[in-house]
């Protein structure tokens, strides 16, 4: 891995699920430092680009600073959703695990961010 990059999974956990044909992917920072950083760099554009092969509609981002969390709503990302998607992952259950591999530019306080906890 590039030294100047940071893998999202080293500073956050994630969980995903379905809402009809939309998927939600929530990212939960492991400390305030991480959250503040993610609020800046984990943009709608980055997440939309990361999941661009899902052929989805718009992406919305919602912030929960008190919970160190960012919630992404991926519109029409599930190829029909639980009832009629032909994908193995009809409900977007894998997207949370997938997003943890998203690469971000490494922040200056990376060492501190890696070990800090709530």
Partner 1 sequence: MTVRIANAAGFWGDWTLAPQQLLSRETVDFLSLEYLAELTLSIMARQREKNANYGYARDFIDVVHQIIPELQNQSSLKIVTNAGGLNPPSCAVALGQLLRECGLGSIPIGVVTGDDLLERTGSLTDSTWPHFDTHSPLGDRAAKTVSANAYLGARPIYEALQQGSRIVITGRVADASLTVGPAMYHYNWDWEDWDRLAAASVAGHLIECGAQVTGGYRTDWRGAPLGRIGYPIVEIAGDGQFTVTKPEGSDGAVSRQSVIEQIVYEIGDPSAYMTPDVIVDFTTLEVAAIGNDRVAVRNAHGKPRPEALKVSLAYADGFMASGQLLVYGKDCIVKARIVADLIAERLRQEGVDLGSFHVELLGAGDGVPGMVPPPDGLREVMLRISATATDRDPLEAFARQFAPLITNGPAGLAGYAQGRPVVRKIYSYWPTTISRDALTPQVSVQTADDWAAAEAI
Element (H, E) at 77: none
Indicate the Cα dihedral angle 46, 2, 34, 78, nearest 10°.
Answer: 40
Kindly list the residues in this chain that would bind partner 1 in the complex (CB under 8 A). Answer: 9, 13-15, 17-20, 22, 24, 26, 28, 30, 51, 53-54, 60, 62-69, 71, 73, 80-84, 86-89, 94-98, 100, 118
Residue 40 Cβ, how far from partner 1 at the closest point, in Å? 18
Nearer to partner 1 by Cβ, of 62 and 115: the residue is 62
Nearer to partner 1 by Cβ, of 83 and 108: the residue is 83
Query: How many whole angstroms separate alpha carbon 32 and alpha carbon 68?
Result: 6
């Amino acid at each position: 891995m590039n030294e100047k990059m940071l893998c999202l999974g080293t500073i956050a956990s994630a969980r995903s699920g379905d809402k009809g044909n939309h998927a939600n992917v929530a990212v939960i920072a492991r400390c305030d430092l991480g959250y503040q950083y993610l609020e800046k760099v984990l943009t709608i554009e980055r997440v939309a680009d990361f999941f661009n092969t899902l052929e989805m509609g718009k992406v919305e981002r919602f912030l929960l600073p008190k919970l160190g969390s960012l919630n992404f709503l991926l519109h029409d990302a599930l190829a029909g959703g639980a009832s009629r998607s032909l994908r193995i992952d009809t409900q977007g259950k894998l997207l949370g695990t997938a997003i943890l591999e998203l690469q971000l530019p490494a922040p200056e306080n990376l060492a501190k961010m890696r070990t800090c906890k709530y």
